Amino acid sequence: QSVLTQPPSASGTPGQRVTISCSGSSSNIGSNTVNWYQQLPGTAPKVLIFGNNQWPSGVPDRFSGSKSGTSASLAISGLQSEDEADYYCAAWDVSLNGWVFGGGTKLTVL
């Protein structure tokens, strides 16, 4: 049981826009920023969005993040086949004094 809650799966067709939600509490998302990680099959995770809505260099602006209260979301526009991956949200939890992750969302490009 993950501390942050994500839908287990999401899907879309090429070119579509999809969103992935991440729900937490006042001790994590409610009091800290959210980072998003992309994990392609068989590889290590890679940071996609940090600080709720900032891009590391090299990440296309098709990916965007937002946060409101104790929830966050990742949006992917202009969906491409190479976006098929697992996506994880993460935040620092002040009560647990550690990082917590969502359970991950498997994105399928139909």
Partner 1 sequence: QVQLVQSGAEVKKPGASVKVSCKASGYTFTTYGISWVRQAPGQGLEWMGWISAYYGHTNYAQKFQGRVTMTTDTSTTTAYMELRNLRSDDTAVYYCTRESQVGPTIFFAYWGQGTLVTVSS
Contact positions toward partner 1, by CB under 8 A?
2, 33, 35, 37, 44-47, 50-51, 54, 56, 88, 90, 92, 96-104
Nearer to partner 1, 27 or 35 (CB): 35
Q: Environment class of residue 53 by beta-carbon count within 10 Å: exposed (0-12), middle (13-18) or buried (19+)?
A: middle
The least CB distance from residue 82 to partner 1, in Å, is 19
Name the phi and psi angles at 81, rounded to 5.
-60, -30
Residue 85 CA to chain centroid, in angstroms? 11
The least CB distance from residue 85 to partner 1, in Å, is 13
Beta bridge pairs of residue 106: 9, 86
The least CB distance from residue 15 to partner 1, in Å, is 28
